[in-house]
Amino acid sequence: MLSWDEPQGSPMEYENAQKRILEIFTQRKAPDNFKIELFVIRGGDWGGYTMLDCDGPLAVHKVLLDAARV
């Protein structure tokens, strides 16, 4: 399970942050050994959770580094 927090701000910044997170996770292809089981944005809060299945921590690290570059 991964969790993330985003900086807080105005309602418009909240909405833009949610759109950005969805953009990051939907516009890229995960490796074959990496499967997102659940993706949840905390409603009314800044952040969310992702439950995933993969071969090990190296796969998670690679996906997160790739997502940070988007």
**Domain housing 44:** 2-68
Nearest to 15 by CA among 27, 2, 6: 6
Q: Is the pTM of this model over 0.85?
A: no
Buried b (16+ CB within 10 A) or exposed e, 3-37: eeebeeeeeeeeeebbeebeeebeeeebeeeeeee
- Two structure tokens written together for 14: 């909240």
**Domain holding 43: CATH number?**
3.30.70
Domain count, the chain: 1
pLDDT in tens, the chain (70 residues): 888 787 778 888 878 877 877 777 776 677 777 788 888 888 777 788 888 888 888 877 777 777 666 5
